[in-house]
Structure 1
Amino acid sequence: MNTVQLRQKIESQLNQLSPERLALVSDFLDSIESTEPTDSSSLRKLPPIKRGKTAKDLLKYAGTWQGDDLEDCLNIVHKTRSETQF
């Protein structure tokens, strides 16, 4: 679906909404407009942040586990993870 078709579809959907729902759509659009960068091309011009290249380089940020719920946390991870497919 190209941009023109998408705009036509949205316009058709907007025409069918009640005033209350239309106000919700307006609020939503306001919220995404405020979070959208004004000039996304300027972000592409930034050089990459150079950091270490191995997991060993991240160890300086690692701490020790503090708390007594490590086993509970691991159990939650094991129960909720999904199998990886390659």
Structure 2
Amino acid sequence: MLNRKLLAQEIESLPPELVTEALDFIRFIKASHLQRQSKPETNLDTDTLRGSKAKDLLEFAGSWSGDDIRECLQLVHDTRMPLQP
């Protein structure tokens, strides 16, 4: 409870123009916390994708469904940039 009292004191001492900013920040923290708790660990988010390794993607191996894999692969080959030395 001490932290709540300290937080309330800090809020009380804020200049009026910062109260809205503090409120927005608290709402952001709450929403972020709720989002992390509601997501199963298997869901991919932006942070997960940035650090992805091939081994992280193995769970999806063999999961292609459809008959257009060859066309998709050809599209990748046709549109990718050439390697630069």
TM-score range, shorter chain: 0.3 to 0.5
Please, what TM-score do these two structures have when normalized by structure 1? 0.40
Greater relative CO (CA pairs within 8 A, separation 6+) = 2
- From the two aligned structures, give the one with the greater helix fraction: 2
Please, what TM-score do these two structures have when normalized by structure 2? 0.41
